A and B are shown apart, each in its own frame.
Chain A
Amino acid sequence: MTTFRSMVSAAALALSILGPALTVAPSNAFAQGVLKLAQTQDLVSLDPIATSDNPSIHAQLLIYDTLLRPSTDASKLEPGLAESWTVSGDGLTYSFKLRAAKFSDGTPVTAADVAFSLKRAGSDASSWKRFFAGIDAIETPDDRTVVLKLKTVFTPLLNNLALFSSAILPQKAFEAAPDKFFEKPIGSGPFTVAAWNKGQALSLKKNAHYWQAGKPSLDGAEIMVLPEGNSRTLKLQAGEIDAALEIPLNQMQSLGRAGTVKTAVANVLRTDFVLLNTKKKPFDDVRVRQALNYAIDKEGLVKALLYGAGKVANSPMPLMAYADPDLKPYAHDIAKAKALLKEAGYGDGFKTSLLVHSGRPLHRQVGQALQSALAQIGVTAEIRLVEGGTHWSTTKAGDYEMAVSYASSDTIDPDQMAGFLIVNPERANAYHTEWKNERVNELYAKERATKDGPERGAMFREMVKLSHEGAPSIFLFYPGTPYAYRSNVSGFEVLPTGNFRLEDVKMK
């Protein structure tokens, strides 16, 4: 009897602890027309000026509108909340004509809301102040017109206005409760927040006031967190979810074979590379850096690691606007690599270390492949597997020799990536490689003050070519982003900027 009593008390204890958990949470899992989409991580915040993680950014782009937005093929900017815009001849005045749009609470989007949101995005409280630094004054001559005044020409501005951080918020609703606003934010985008169960799912419902008539056709979307790649594919196969992001590449074929699931690869604006610390020997010598580029069979990496879903990279810059089709990647040429090393005084090779992010399966494989490829030219690379935070802090502090890494772009204009990857000094000093080229810096300043067009394009092409020759990293590949959806879903697409729009998605 003693045993029985102890078990009863244990059960009673458990129940008393679990009591509050027994309440039923709302769920729209069985609603019709709700797209269930799985991603790897939960979002962090819906405040567009305070976030920098992709899940948050992608969710914000479904809830809020921006004045302009990149077209789905990333070739140009298209109207968002602004139905038209003009830039003055001297490039210092931008005028936007707003369309008749409403926020999800039914109030109209006014010029005052735009001015408020852009001022907030450029304020000290914003993590992205830099993007709006060029704006000197914001004028609102009438409810539907916004005029931005600049002191100096700043061409990337239009693209920055298409960024997540330029989301337009309703001034009155925000100011009524600034602390609570982002728990259930109001925007003018196609969807609005129904519930956010942290760590599980963000439930979105259709914005009945959305300005594109008849859209979205979905009643809502459930953006779920499924960190494990196998769990995402299993749930997709079982029909428990309708779409999933970041499918493990080795499962793409078998997933597609069943016929109930369609797979696709998005051409995102991303480059994977191995950063070389040009402050340290022997990476201070351009010949060594070029030799390393010649030593790697990048074509082979694309085939073996990406299952063909990608292209060989010719520079650190992603394949985007103004890319030079004639700039060829470094060929796989061991003899040339050895000759260059010899010329640089490293005929017998050298010992070095390779920093790898332990949480990125693809980069762990890259690390292994590079280690054996470099051994062929006498370079012994010791792999140092570290967790993400350490990886970032170590490379940022310049306390590394080689590091597998990548960069992806939020905008379709190469300015953001150039500033990050090849300009020094800038915010990351050529992405922690400390590579420095005065001509690149000069062109960067010039391109920002030059109107969009062939002249600006030529500047970018020259910058990219210089970075190709200077080889601040081992350029690996432009990987595609694999995703999959059930065959009853149509119109689901991951865009080159990595996000997805759901207003055109239909479910049968």
Chain B
Amino acid sequence: MLTYILKRFVQLVPVLFGITLACFFLLRALPGDPATLLLGARGGAEEIAAMKQRLGLDLPLWRQYLLFLHDILSGSLGRSVVYGQPVISLVLERLPATLWLVAYSTVIAVVLTIPLALWSAVKRDRAPDILVKLVFTVLLAIPSFWLGLVLVVILAIWVPLFPTSGYGAGLFSRLHHLTLPAFVIALATASLTIRSLRSGILNVLGSDYVTTARAKGNATGRTMRVHVLPNALISSISVLGAHTSWVIGGTVVIETVFALPGLGSLFVESIFARDYPMIQGLTIVFAVLVVLINLATDIAYALADPRIRLD
């Protein structure tokens, strides 16, 4: 397993190199530059030129690119134009909120998915199945910012169970603050995973070994736990993994509605400001996180299905 993990990290190197190239040159193709935008209405040509020089934006592109590679290798990821601080320290300030949100929403999604998918599959085409399908199709169609606001009005204003927004400090307060946003993300994730797990279970239920297990006199609960679920989980794990990767950078709407200091909003703000080092650094961080999630997904496969070997 360790060799496998190491190998995956070695494979990461060319991927990251490609990402640095694409990210660096695509960014320069956007209209606007950080100096012009940072100075805005208050800046004149002289100030803009002076700032460009200070930021090294007057250097030839290839030299700027080499400096960017140097910043990655030195671990600082460069210095944010807007904040004037090393990108890595800004990322580390925002990373916890994103990781909390990703982890918490994934846990909620899993907790929702397994029983609901089982229920839905067992009661196929009957009322529970139709109800679960209907509710989660509707939830998938609702924009998350709207769902978030509605939940805030109901669960934070009318019945004040949760804070309207914010991040909290300390374990309990943080979980309390993050419940609503994590729930909104989890509902979106669950609408995908419930469907895939339900059809996975239905496939497995029809297979010979399940019939054999039942014929041997296994109780329904044990058949489900030992024979059906592990085999049905594989496809849902990949759906969950893919969706979690998306959540890493895609929570900006949730972060905005709930005023959470996550990476998503930092990324969007940086793009608006053309904060080149920040965008480049964040892209690298996102790439690493996505690779880590994929790795975790692969490990989860192996754990769920002993036939899968990681080497």
Contacts and interface: CB of A to CB of B under 8 A. Distances in A.
Contact of B259 (A45, A53, A231, A237): A231
B103 A199 contact: no
A87 B107 CA distance: 69
User: Which of B94, B166, B256 gathers the greatest number of chain A CB atoms within 10 Å?
Assistant: B166
Contact of B43 (A52, A125, A390): A52
Nearest to B237: A6
A208 to B, nearest CB: 25
A22 B152 contact: no
A1 B164 contact: no
Nearest to A399: B31
Nearest to A5: B303
B187 to A, nearest CB: 19
B131 interface: no
B6 interface: no
A393 B103 CA distance: 39
A387 B93 CA distance: 26
B273 A389 contact: yes
B155 to A, nearest CB: 11
A127 B163 CA distance: 41
B183 interface: no
B208 interface: no
A193 interface: no
Contacts of B259: 200, 224-228, 231
A100 B183 CA distance: 56
B148 to A, nearest CB: 9
B93 A26 contact: no
Interface in A404-462: 407, 410, 420, 426-428, 431
A389 B299 contact: no
A31 interface: no
Contacts of A227: 256, 259, 265
Given A228-B257, A393-B31, A393-B36, A234 B164 contact: yes
Contacts of A25: 169-170
B40 interface: yes
A148 B83 CA distance: 32
A25 to B, nearest CB: 4
Contact of B100 (A13, A18, A407, A428): A18
Interface string A26-55: 110000000000000100110100101100
Nearest to B84: A45
Nearest to B303: A6
Contact of B170 (A2, A24, A41, A390): A24
A310 B201 CA distance: 62
B21 interface: no
Interface in B280-311: 296, 299-300, 303-306
B169 A52 contact: no
A359 B266 CA distance: 16
B272 A199 contact: no
A426 B47 CA distance: 13
A326 interface: no
B134 to A, nearest CB: 27
A231 B258 contact: yes
B66 to A, nearest CB: 25
A392 interface: yes
Contacts of B41: 52, 407, 420, 428, 431
User: Which of A53, A200, A387, A388 gathers the greatest number of chain B CB atoms within 10 Å?
Assistant: A200
Interface residues of A, number: 66
A375 interface: no
B250 interface: no
A127 B51 contact: yes
B171 A22 contact: yes
A336 interface: no
Contacts of B94: 198-199
A128 interface: yes
Interface in B225-254: 225-226, 229-230, 233
Given A230-B149, A238-B160, A1 B42 contact: no
Interface in B18-54: 30-33, 36-47, 50-51, 54
A13 B166 CA distance: 25
Nearest to B110: A7
A259 interface: no
A240 B44 CA distance: 41
Contacts of B90: 198
Given A25-B169, A44-B82, A199-B261, A393 B37 contact: yes
B163 A240 contact: yes
Given A3-B230, A238-B157, A427-B43, A24 B169 contact: yes
Given A127-B39, A130-B46, A392-B40, 18 more contacts: A2-B304, A3-B230, A3-B304, A9-B303, A14-B103, A41-B269, A52-B43, A127-B42, A128-B42, A130-B47, A226-B165, A234-B149, A235-B164, A238-B157, A389-B30, A389-B273, A393-B37, A428-B44
19 contacts: A9-B303, A14-B106, A18-B99, A18-B100, A22-B171, A24-B170, A27-B169, A127-B39, A198-B94, A199-B265, A224-B259, A227-B256, A227-B259, A228-B256, A234-B165, A388-B272, A393-B31, A393-B36, A407-B41
Interface of A: 1-3, 5-7, 9-11, 13-14, 17-18, 20-22, 24-27, 41, 44-45, 47, 50, 52-53, 124-125, 127-130, 197-200, 224-228, 230-231, 234-235, 237-238, 240, 359, 387-390, 392-394, 396-397, 407, 410, 420, 426-428, 431
Interface of B: 30-33, 36-47, 50-51, 54, 82-84, 90, 93-94, 96-97, 99-100, 103, 106-107, 110, 145, 149, 152-153, 156-157, 160, 163-167, 169-171, 174, 225-226, 229-230, 233, 256-259, 261-262, 265-266, 269, 271-274, 296, 299-300, 303-306
Enumerate the 5 nearest inter-chain pairs by beta-carbon distance, A residue then B residue, closest first: A427-B44, A199-B261, A393-B32, A21-B96, A6-B303
